[in-house]
Amino acid sequence: AAAVAVTGSASGIGRAVADALRADGRRVIGVDLHDADVIADLSTADGRSTAARGVLELAGGTLGGAVLAAGLGPAAGRERATIEVNLLGVTALLEAWRPALAVTGDARVVVLGSNSTTTTPFVPRRAIRELLRGEVDAATRRIRRRRGLSAPVAYAASKIAVTRWVRRRAVRPEWAGAGIRLNVLAPGPVLTPLLRAQLDGPTGENVRSFPIPVRRFGTADVLASWALFMLSPAADVLVGSVIVVDGGTDALIRPSTS
């Protein structure tokens, strides 16, 4: 089978996905800042081109799938980088990889979203529209005006924008019509180095008091199992879906959304 590209393959969910795919006999091309087949910094335009090109070279022009798991968590002062990695680090790569994904007529792509898209208050809607128009400077300025909340707002905005980007593209002839299934996996808190940094950081108490009905964090291995399912034949007609795997938080906060 054709290779699967995995971004964020050096840690957490991306690493668990890469390991599980390899254990399944799939060829994986990992992208990360370190310990990966393609070393690239997805927070810069140059880094994104390096990543896009490097993967296509190693893949020989054909990709069977991709899992976009590279990401930055909320951190004060890092709003811009969070948007670049979490949004552009997905959209720029998928645009560059689309022809390679179309080759088999049967590719599947999983983008890591987050349940923060539905659980974070005060995300300015105009910033989302700006992000979807590629106006990253304007959106970042607007998000920074949220002052003390700008880090979680930047994170949620990056995930809302990437989720909408996926749902808009997923149904188009160039994607679904070419057999490329684009879907989003939206976890709640998962115990990885990203969450560990949140728990140990200045807002650790807020993270700990986040209501999770099942009263536990997810693990990278469990999320990797969902990603593999979304890459499997079972996902044949899964297109543009947001699969929320979050211990019940989204249902708790939005019981009337069906």
Residues 169-198 binding ligand NAI (CB under 6 A) are 187, 189-190, 192-195
Site string for ligand NAI, 198-237 (x = CB under 6 A): ----------------------------------------
- Could you tell me the two tokens for 245? 């795997």
Nearer to ligand NAI, 178 or 212 (CB): 212
Asked if 69 interacts with ligand NAI (CB under 6 A), we say: yes
Rounded Cα distance, 5 and 90, in Å: 12
Hey, what are 44's tokens?
């810069």
The angle subtended at Cα 11 by Cα 9 and Cα 14, nearest 5°, is 45
Which residues, at least 6 apart from 36, have a Cβ–Cβ distance to it below 8 Å? 9, 10, 30
Name residue 3's beta-bridge partners: 63
DSSP symbols for 47-73: HHHHHHHHHHHHHTT-EEEEEE-----
Write down the least CB distance from residue 12 to ligand NAI, Å: 2
Site string (97-136) toward ligand NAI, x via CB under 6 A: ---------------x-x----------------------
d(CA 36, CA 149): 33
How far is residue 232's CA from residue 169's CA, in Å, rounded to a whole number?
A: 20
State yes or no: residue 14 binds ligand NAI (CB under 6 A). yes
> Is residue 4 a contact partner of residue 20, using CB atoms and an 8 Å limit?
no
Q: Does 42 bind ligand NAI (CB under 6 A)?
A: yes
- Among the residue ranges 6-14, 55-63, 144-152, 176-184, the one whose residues contact ligand NAI (CB under 6 A): 6-14
Closest CA to 93 of 41, 139, 138: 41
Number of residues that bind ligand NAI (CB under 6 A): 26
> Which amino acid would we find at residue 168?
R
155 is catalytic: yes
User: For residues 43-62, which are near ligand NAI according to CB under 6 A?
Assistant: 43
Q: Which residue's Cβ lies closest to ligand NAI?
A: 12
CB 113, min distance to ligand NAI, A = 7
Name the residue among 84, 60, 58, 54 with its Cα closest to residue 72: 84
Catalytic residue among 97, 155, 175, 217: 155
Phi, psi of 108 (to 5 degrees): -135, 140
Among 71, 74, 152, 240, binds ligand NAI (CB under 6 A): 71
Residues 85-104, interacting with ligand NAI (CB under 6 A): 85-86
Least Å distance, CB 15 to ligand NAI, is 7
Point out the residues that are catalytic.
155
Interface residues with ligand NAI (CB under 6 A)?
Answer: 8, 10-14, 32-33, 41-43, 69-72, 85-86, 112, 114, 187, 189-190, 192-195
